[in-house]
Amino acid sequence: MDAAKEGKLGPLKTAREEAADCTRCDLYKNATQTVFGEGGAKASVVFVGEQPGDREDIEGRPFVGPAGRLFDTILEETGIDRKKTYVTNAVKHFKFQSRGKRRIHSKPNAGEIRACRWWLGQELTMIQPDLAVALGATAVRALTGKALAVNTLRGSVVESAEGVPVFITVHPSSLLRIPDREARHTARERFAEDMRKVKTMMRKG
């Protein structure tokens, strides 16, 4: 725990190495690799997404595909330095259905979320952030153990099983799926506003 708090990866590195061989649910069978979280071991905020997508599965890093790029841009605009945060997912293997050569994202189920919760617990316990940010319903479920309504609770703070405050917002990929340009812009602004709130809840420095 101390090594992690000192900024050395320490036990977090061990957890990452152990997660590489995870067989807690069946998702490892079709995915390329475990995509563990990455970022500062002393991070004051941990962002939690749903699961790696196609790009993340190939690169082995969270939030590096289209949703990740949008997320990075908004964080930058908001003045949040991603390198000082920790970014991870509720489920650490890509779940998909094959359609020809394409791999189509498939939502993780409650059992898969529960099986993977062990790793998220390790990450939170070792990092001890001031705040976790649940990006969407799967993250909310993983962090709280409850199927809470994101739209109703958006912008509020609940508690994770470890007692970490959890700020609830939508997943950045939901912004990419809005067909109407104006509506997409409005949704993006609202998400940016959520990130500005998160910034005020982060430790300084």
CB atoms < 10 A from the CB of 170, how many?
18
Encode burial over 127-154: b for 16+ CB neighbours within 10 A, e otherwise.
bbbebbbbbbbbbbbbbbeeebebeebb
Amino acid at position 99, single letter: R
Residue 108, interface with ligand URA (CB under 6 A)?
no
CB of 62 to ligand URA, least distance (A): 4
CB of 57 to ligand URA, least distance (A): 9
Residue matched to tokens 């650490």 = 92
Residue 63, interface with ligand URA (CB under 6 A)?
yes
- Nearest Cα residue to 138 out of 198, 48, 75: 48
Q: Between 1 and 104, whose beta carbon lies closer to ligand URA?
A: 104
Q: Between 85 and 89, whose beta carbon lies closer to ligand URA?
A: 89
Residue 67, interface with ligand URA (CB under 6 A)?
yes
Residue 51, interface with ligand URA (CB under 6 A)?
yes
Residue 37, interface with ligand URA (CB under 6 A)?
no
Contact call for residues 24 and 108 (beta carbons, < 8 A): no
Residue 50, interface with ligand URA (CB under 6 A)?
yes
CB of 71 to ligand URA, least distance (A): 8
Pairing of strands 38-39, 86-89: antiparallel
Name the residues that contact ligand URA, by CB under 6 A: 49-53, 56, 62-63, 65, 67-68, 89, 173
